[in-house]
Amino acid sequence: MALKREQIAARAAQELRDGMYVNLGIGVPTLVANYVPKGIDIVLQSENGMLGIGPYPTEAEIDPDLVNAGKETVTEIKGTSYFSSADSFAMIRGGHIDVAILGAMEVSEQGDIANWTIPGKVVKGMGGAMDLVTGARRVIVAMEQVAKDGSKKILRQCKLPLTGKKCVNTIMTELAVIDVTPQGLVLREVAPGVTPEDVQRATEPTLKISPELRTIKV
């Protein structure tokens, strides 16, 4: 049974470790803030100049001036700090972000990622994605396995303009957790009721099956 968006986010949150500085992209990744495991103390960074993002606000907590890089309202935590975009990108480019969890339109078997534009469609800008995929110590892509039109999103080669090359470490979808390695894509986990064959049918490159393959638990 395929995972829901919230479950993909919950599984991605399991990769976080105490003391990490983490950047969350737009889409499924923003949901990760609501699923940080108890006892894990992380600091969420936003490239629009906020360090210390809390969970999504309740109706009573909404502050229209308190937003993340995706222009979504957020909450702050004790110790939250604010700064310019220049300082924010200095953090990212300086290698101070431990993990970036991003969405994507395409990911290749080499770890290339395309997530900022589709030719012919209007986009507001590339945001901080290009800096994040090169500056973060680890890049996790959290996305649906196939596009709305049924086309595969994990490809041998990306067809859309690239955001970064050989930068993705792990892919998490509603079907599976897949590691990007020098030897190719390794299927590490499958969703409950999903078989490796199901995942392969939704993936263009040939997957290698981990000898320790297990079921995703969220």
Distance CA 15, CA 36 (A): 9
Instruction: Report CA dihedral (24, 25, 27, 30) to the nearest 10 degrees.
Output: 20
Distance CA 186, CA 180 (A): 7
Catalytic residue among 15, 47, 109, 189: 47
User: Does residue 189 carry a catalytic annotation?
Assistant: no
For 16, how many CA atoms within 13 A lie in the half-sphere containing its CB? 29
Distance CA 40, CA 30 (A): 17
CB 141, CB 104: distance < 8 Å: yes
Residue with tokens 């969970």, as numbered in its chain: 55
Q: How far is CA 157 from the centre of its chain?
A: 19
Closest of 218, 216, 214, 187 to residue 202, by C-alpha: 187
Active site residues: 47
